[in-house]
């Protein structure tokens, strides 16, 4: 069985029997890998704790037929600040869950790995509005995965205005002529906010909160769009919407 070295970020960790766990890791060079970590309880080492979700670790792994085996794990970045704050955890969970949905097993995707790392670093910096960082991250993830929502021109004809309809299945904002029956009316400020969020860098996304009404509308458009294109309900969205919105930045 070939042995390989990687670095990665733990997306999920599930107990397997009494002493083992199965971890899902987004690696830098080997895509998403799933591996068994054995003897987590037996050993007195911190092996198990190193393989908790969010950990950025360097790994030594054996390639298996179905599952790989993690034989060594060393912490590169533990993201302790995120772990200690509920709204940062909620934002980080959204990132991990969304990445888990789009990442392919054993398919190298360095840009996805770097995006996740940048997202977690932006949260670790303690942003004013962690949910906005997660939402900006989602927009970047959708773009990287080929599902970028049209936000500045009609998704169908490219016309620039007026863009007052939105449909996940049609790919974003729409002009009146192109809007089909399932398209809903949207307000231009909500679309403008999503467009800004998609362009700003992740560190800056936490500093540009609009008023709560615009935020709520934009959020429901984005979550609906993401769930439609990621083809699954995102559990973490319900945590994210419970976060109190920070006060308006001047």
Q: Beta strand 165-167 with 20-27: parallel, antiparallel or unpaired? A: unpaired
**Cα 164 from Cα 219, distance rounded (Å):** 16
Query: Which one of 11, 178, 186, 200 is in contact with Zn ion (CB under 5 A)?
Result: 178
Q: Which is nearer to Zn ion, 3 or 157 (CB)?
A: 157
> Count residues contacting Zn ion (CB under 5 A)?
6
Residues in 208-247 at the binding interface with Zn ion, rule: CB under 5 A? none
Helix axes of 212-230 and 188-199: crossing angle, nearest 10 degrees:
70
Q: Taking phi first (over 0 means left), then psi (-120 to 50 degrees means alpha), and beta for anything else, what does residue 233 get?
A: beta
Residues in 4-23 at the binding interface with Zn ion, rule: CB under 5 A? none
Closest separation in Å from C-beta 176 to Zn ion: 8
Closest separation in Å from C-beta 25 to Zn ion: 42
* DSSP summary character for residue 73: E
Closest separation in Å from C-beta 187 to Zn ion: 18
- Per-residue tokens: 227: 């769930």
> Are 200 and 227 a contacting pair, CB within 8 Å?
no
> Are 59 and 73 a contacting pair, CB within 8 Å?
yes
> Are 92 and 202 a contacting pair, CB within 8 Å?
no
Binding mask 138-177 for Zn ion (x = CB under 5 A): ----------------x-xx-x---------------x--
Q: Which is nearer to Zn ion, 126 or 162 (CB)?
A: 162
Q: Which is nearer to Zn ion, 119 or 171 (CB)?
A: 171
Q: Which is nearer to Zn ion, 104 or 161 (CB)?
A: 161
Q: Which residues bind Zn ion (CB under 5 A)?
A: 154, 156-157, 159, 175, 178
């Amino acid at each position: 069985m070939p042995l390989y070295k990687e670095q990665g970020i733990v997306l999920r960790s599930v107990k397997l029997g009494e002493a083992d766990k199965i971890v899902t890791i987004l690696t830098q060079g080997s895509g998403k890998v799933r591996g068994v970590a054995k003897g987590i309880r037996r050993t007195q080492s911190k092996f198990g704790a190193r393989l908790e979700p969010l950990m950025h670790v360097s790994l030594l792994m054996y390639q298996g037929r179905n599952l790989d085996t993690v034989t060594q794990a060393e912490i590169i970045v533990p993201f302790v600040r995120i772990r200690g704050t509920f709204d940062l955890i909620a934002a980080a969970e959204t990132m991990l869950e969304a990445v888990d949905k789009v990442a392919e097993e054993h398919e190298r995707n360095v840009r996805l790995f770097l995006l996740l790392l940048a997202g977690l670093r932006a949260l670790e910096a303690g942003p004013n509005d962690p949910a906005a960082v997660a939402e900006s991250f989602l927009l970047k993830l959708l773009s990287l995965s080929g599902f970028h929502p049209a936000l500045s021109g009609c998704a169908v004809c490219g016309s620039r205005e007026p863009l007052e309809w939105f449909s996940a299945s049609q790919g974003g904002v729409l002009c009146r002529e192109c809007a089909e029956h399932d398209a809903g009316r949207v307000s231009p400020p909500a679309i403008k906010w999503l467009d800004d969020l998609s362009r700003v860098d992740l560190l800056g996304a936490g500093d540009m909160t609009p008023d709560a009404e615009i935020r709520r509308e934009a959020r429901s458009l984005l979550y609906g769009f993401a769930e439609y294109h990621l083809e699954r309900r995102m559990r973490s969205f319900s945590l994210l919407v419970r976060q109190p919105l920070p006060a308006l930045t001047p």
